[in-house]
Chain A
Amino acid sequence: MTRRVVITGIGVRAPGGKGVKEFWSTLSGGRTATRRITFFDPSPYRSQVAAEADFDPVVEGLTAAEADRMDRATQFAVVCADEAVQDSGLDLTALDPYRVGVSLGSAVAAATSLEREYLNLSGGGRNWEVDPAGLSPYMFDYMVPSVMPAEVAWAVGAEGPVAMVSNGCTSGLDSVGHAVQLIREGSADTMVAGASDTPITPIVVACFDAIKATTPRNDAPEEASRPFDGSRNGFVLAEGAAMFVLEEYDSAKRRGAPIYAEVTGYATRSNAFHMTGLKPDGREMAEAIRVALNESRADPTAVDYINAHGSGTKQNDRHETAAFKRSLGPHAYATPVSSIKSMVGHSLGAIGSLEIAASVLAIQHDVVPPTANLHISDPECDLDYVPITAREHRVDTVLTVGSGFGGFQSAMVLRDPEEAA
């Protein structure tokens, strides 16, 4: 019999507030956390807006040594992992550490530290041959960031399978999907899984400027992220992290754990088309959705809410609208669809896990978070995108999807534990 996997703990650091409660308050209140970039002077850049999180590693309880060696993205991941474990009520000392694993997603990992160290070593970018005199003892950790899941594993005492999944912007869905597979197949009983990215640093901003993927709407930062809106013109870069405790259903039940949701289906497909481009037909994402629903033994009509990738680029919004219609048929028109990126921006690899958290909270509260800043309809995006205001709506089954550079298209189905049982 297939082992079932449930989410029993959540930790979140996102723009707009600290922790799960404030995250949900931002989303359900339809508040946007995008602003003019404050981490550095953004004036030389095409896109000058981002969703920054207020995060102080010392206030968050990291030691000075931890704050010093860990990249910002690692700090987010460790803090969220601690919070998720607390939230789950799991007594880690009662578990066999070999049966506990970690799966961490991140798209650009230690980008912030890489850039800082690069500037130190290269005379502010002047020299090609870098100066070893300024070398940080942690430079290797930033170049090869598998130290990130290692730090999480140390934090929670995991000694089972520990992995870092880096599939660009689907990393946060795929890292959790990876964890689900490991529990199902019996390689672990408990996984601490999720994703973290803190990409608001000049090189990453410049990367997306170069291909005009981010929005140049600099005059109104709070309204800059506009998925599905007719006037949208690119995504808003963001940072954040979400980590979960995932457990095998029976043992979670036995210990009387709070069960947020069951992950009933997950699939990923690739478009094999272009590193950054999408075909408008949404074919591969539709296939991922079909397989994830099939694995959930759920009919398309069972989907109560679609948490969209909704990045706010024209090609994405049309691509996934087509994918929903292709996979759900007429039910796509009857299902609320929304993008939390309208409020917390696009934190690359992390956002998939933040969207899982939003999906779980939608189930818990029977509320669908809105798509903020959606005022002007686009004839090619003709579904119900829940504009501006959250909606009370019974949510037992959520479909959450992601789409990323490299062609990755991923889909996950989450169900209310009572319905799933």
Chain B
Amino acid sequence: MSTSEEERAMGGGIPSAVRQTVRDAAREDGPAETARSGSSPVYVTGIGVAAPNGLGLERYWEAVLAGRSGIVPISRFDTSRYPARLAGQIEDFDASTHLPSRLLPQTDVSTRLALSAADWAIADAGVDASSATDYDMGVVTANGCGGFDFTHREFKKLWSEGPQAVSVYESFAWFYAVNTGQISIRNGMRGPSSALVAEQAGGLDALGHARRTVGRGTPLMVTGGVDSAFDPWGWVSHLSSGRISHATDPERAYLPFDREARGQVPGEGGAILLVEDPAAARARGARRVYGELAGYASTFDAAPGRVRGRAAHPARPRRGRAAGLRRAARLALTEAGLEPQDVDVVFADAAGVRDLDRVEAAAIRDLFGVHGVPVTAPKALTGRLGAGGGPLDVATALLSIRDGVIPASGATADVPAEYGIDVVTGAPREIRVRHALVLARGRWGFNSAVVVRAATT
């Protein structure tokens, strides 16, 4: 039995000082609300994955369990003039083998990945999209930068050759709704659809919105997120975030929660999920249910220096830096009808930037107690996928439930004791997983949380 399990079993392992901070934290977060309308659980019945360490769900999962990383030196352009050269790059994706040739000239690599992952999710679920009633299927995806590589090429054509050189596809290959629109068209999905622009947290918001849309009466939603921007302009834009690891060893460039954490490695790809109303899934005889999206919530961290005008009142609550994330997690758990002690694993945002790791560790410790729950960050093997990251973590969490194993956190090994969290390192941990909490934090203050649980079929 691990330390954390013993502590939990004994119920008395948590120092009283920690219990006190947990009570303080609860006060700071405010009361949890009662269940919201339209918040009934939905099933995940299909998953499509496009990750740097594996194309397709099972190949990705194999790589994750084996600890195989997809972080490599960027091969798409000469990186010698840039201070960082590593990324989670998908190297074995040949779009022409997955998509009709007419779609290729009109799509960015991110959209090709999204369309393929959606195809795989639909096939995985055994859904015949052509047989659905008119408005019974919708699409909601998130992405951060639209078709960036594609649009970079068009910017270059405009400014080096003139307006006549700009592609007839640019207007819709670039914009942020492109993945939602293309998935909708390819699969004849005419139900309520939407696109969210988001950095790392927003992929979970897409899942939350898909769940809301099912709750409002649309039986099936395709949802998730995919991002990619590994052209030279996209790459320097990543660099301008100031968080990118300059390390040269792919194994040790992104070490979330490690004492030697030195920044982030961006990745490309993500996951597309099929979510369904449980009754509708049963009615069509769905071949499998990975689990339920049981709870979702999001919060935003105010930046004290940037609150303006009337809102900048001295009486405004000044909260600790972990408060927003903690509250999002607490609301998602409440919505799922769970207490922190019901959670078997936390898939962390895992920033890989020491200051941010410390804040997230504090949030997890406040909620679960010191070493109160296993915490993992398989994204250490893929890099951070932007809006694709949250959905991929949810997919991974569902596989943990399916197979009773928590993957490890890449090469992260040396977690500072003061973090007080039980990070799964080295090898996967075999353990029955019924409930998982997935956390994501986006740049500028976005916090999102999703709770998945084994389906109660």
Give Cα A181–Cα B194 distance, bound, in whole angstroms. Answer: 13
- Shortest B12–chain A CB gap in Å is 33
User: Which partner residue on chain A sits nearest B206 by CB separation?
Assistant: A163
Asked if A230 CB lies within 8 Å of chain B CBs, one says no
Residues of A within 8 A of B144 (CB): 143-144, 146
Residue from A98, A167, A203, A287 within 8 A of B154 (CB atoms):
A203
Residues of A within 8 A of B212 (CB): 181, 185
Asked if A160 CB lies within 8 Å of chain B CBs, one says yes
User: Which partner residue on chain B sits nearest A107 by CB separation?
Assistant: B175
User: Which partner residue on chain B sits nearest A90 by CB separation?
Assistant: B310
Residue from B148, B176, B182 within 8 A of A166 (CB atoms):
B176
Residues of B within 8 A of A122 (CB): 155-156, 159, 233
Residue from B162, B177, B189, B311 within 8 A of A93 (CB atoms):
B311
Residue from B82, B182, B216, B302 within 8 A of A157 (CB atoms):
B302
Contact status A207-B184, CB under 8 Å: no
- Shortest B25–chain A CB gap in Å is 14
Asked if B303 CB lies within 8 Å of chain A CBs, one says yes
Asked if B287 CB lies within 8 Å of chain A CBs, one says no
Stretch at the interface among B36-44, B343-351, B365-373, B427-435: B36-44
- Shortest A36–chain B CB gap in Å is 16
Contact status B166-A125, CB under 8 Å: no
A143 with B145, Cβ < 8 A, contacts A129-B81, A153-B302, A185-B39 known: yes
Contact status B190-A272, CB under 8 Å: yes
Contact status B155-A118, CB under 8 Å: yes
Contact with B along A397-412 (1 / 0, CB 8 A): 0000000111110000
Asked if A85 CB lies within 8 Å of chain B CBs, one says yes
Asked if B180 CB lies within 8 Å of chain A CBs, one says yes
- Shortest B314–chain A CB gap in Å is 9
Give Cα A99–Cα B415 distance, bound, in whole angstroms. Answer: 35
Most buried by A among B37, B237, B238, B315: B237
Give Cα A162–Cα B241 distance, bound, in whole angstroms. Answer: 21
Contact status B445-A129, CB under 8 Å: no
Contact status A159-B190, CB under 8 Å: no
Asked if A45 CB lies within 8 Å of chain B CBs, one says yes
Residues of B within 8 A of A178 (CB): 194, 209
Asked if B99 CB lies within 8 Å of chain A CBs, one says no
Contact status B233-A130, CB under 8 Å: yes
- Shortest A163–chain B CB gap in Å is 6
Residues of A within 8 A of B241 (CB): 140
- Shortest A79–chain B CB gap in Å is 11
Most buried by A among B81, B83, B177: B177
Residues of A within 8 A of B171 (CB): 207-208, 210-211, 213, 276, 405
Contact status B187-A168, CB under 8 Å: no
Residue from B236, B240, B444 within 8 A of A147 (CB atoms):
B444
- Shortest B159–chain A CB gap in Å is 2
Give Cα A125–Cα B158 distance, bound, in whole angstroms. Answer: 8
Contact status B298-A132, CB under 8 Å: no
Residues of B within 8 A of A85 (CB): 309-311
Contact status A143-B308, CB under 8 Å: no
User: Which partner residue on chain A sits nearest B308 by CB separation?
Assistant: A155
A207 with B317, Cβ < 8 A, contacts A137-B242, A146-B444, A187-B36 known: no
User: Which partner residue on chain B sits nearest A85 by CB separation?
Assistant: B310
| Interface residues of B, count at CB 8 A | 102
- Shortest A412–chain B CB gap in Å is 13
Contact status B38-A207, CB under 8 Å: no
Asked if A165 CB lies within 8 Å of chain B CBs, one says yes
Residue from A126, A151, A166, A185 within 8 A of B37 (CB atoms):
A185
Contact status B163-A206, CB under 8 Å: yes
Contact status B177-A166, CB under 8 Å: yes
A206 with B166, Cβ < 8 A, contacts A140-B240, A407-B185 known: yes
Asked if B316 CB lies within 8 Å of chain A CBs, one says yes
CB interface residues, B 262-292, toward A, < 8 Å:
none
Contact status A406-B177, CB under 8 Å: yes
- Shortest B298–chain A CB gap in Å is 5
A109 with B205, Cβ < 8 A, contacts A45-B163, A139-B237, A161-B300 known: no
Most buried by B among A119, A122, A157, A271: A157
Asked if B94 CB lies within 8 Å of chain A CBs, one says no
Contact status B197-A164, CB under 8 Å: yes
Residues of B within 8 A of A138 (CB): 240
Asked if B174 CB lies within 8 Å of chain A CBs, one says yes
A92 with B197, Cβ < 8 A, contacts A122-B159, A139-B236, A153-B302 known: no
Stretch at the interface among A21-29, A49-57, A217-225, A262-270: A262-270
Residues of B within 8 A of A139 (CB): 236-237, 240
Contact status A144-B160, CB under 8 Å: no
Residues of B within 8 A of A114 (CB): 155
Contact with A along B204-221 (1 / 0, CB 8 A): 010001001001100000
CB interface residues, B 70-123, toward A, < 8 Å:
77-78, 81-83, 106
- Shortest B21–chain A CB gap in Å is 20
Residue from A46, A91, A126, A146 within 8 A of B310 (CB atoms):
A91
Asked if B374 CB lies within 8 Å of chain A CBs, one says no
Asked if A10 CB lies within 8 Å of chain B CBs, one says no
- Shortest B385–chain A CB gap in Å is 12
Asked if B139 CB lies within 8 Å of chain A CBs, one says yes
A interface with B by C-beta (< 8 Å): 2, 44-46, 78, 82, 85-86, 91-93, 96-98, 101-102, 106-109, 114-115, 118-119, 121-122, 124-126, 128-132, 135-140, 142-147, 150-151, 153-168, 174, 178, 181, 184-187, 202-203, 205-211, 213, 267-276, 284, 287, 404-408
Q: Which 5 A-B pairs have the closest CB atoms?
A: A125-B159, A406-B181, A157-B311, A93-B313, A166-B176
Q: Known contacts A91-B310, A157-B311, A162-B445; can you find 13 more A-B pairs with CB under 8 A?
A: A46-B163, A82-B308, A92-B310, A93-B316, A97-B302, A102-B300, A122-B155, A129-B81, A130-B236, A135-B239, A211-B168, A272-B184, A287-B190
B interface with A by C-beta (< 8 Å): 30, 33-34, 36-39, 77-78, 81-83, 106, 134-135, 138-139, 144-145, 148, 151-152, 154-156, 158-160, 162-163, 166-168, 170-172, 174-178, 180-182, 184-185, 187-199, 202, 205, 209, 212, 215-216, 229, 232-234, 236-242, 297-303, 306-313, 315-317, 324, 327, 386, 442-446
25 contacts between A and B (CB under 8 A): A85-B310, A98-B327, A102-B300, A109-B176, A118-B233, A119-B159, A132-B81, A137-B240, A140-B237, A144-B199, A146-B442, A147-B443, A161-B297, A166-B175, A167-B180, A203-B154, A206-B158, A207-B166, A210-B167, A272-B184, A272-B190, A273-B185, A406-B175, A406-B177, A406-B180
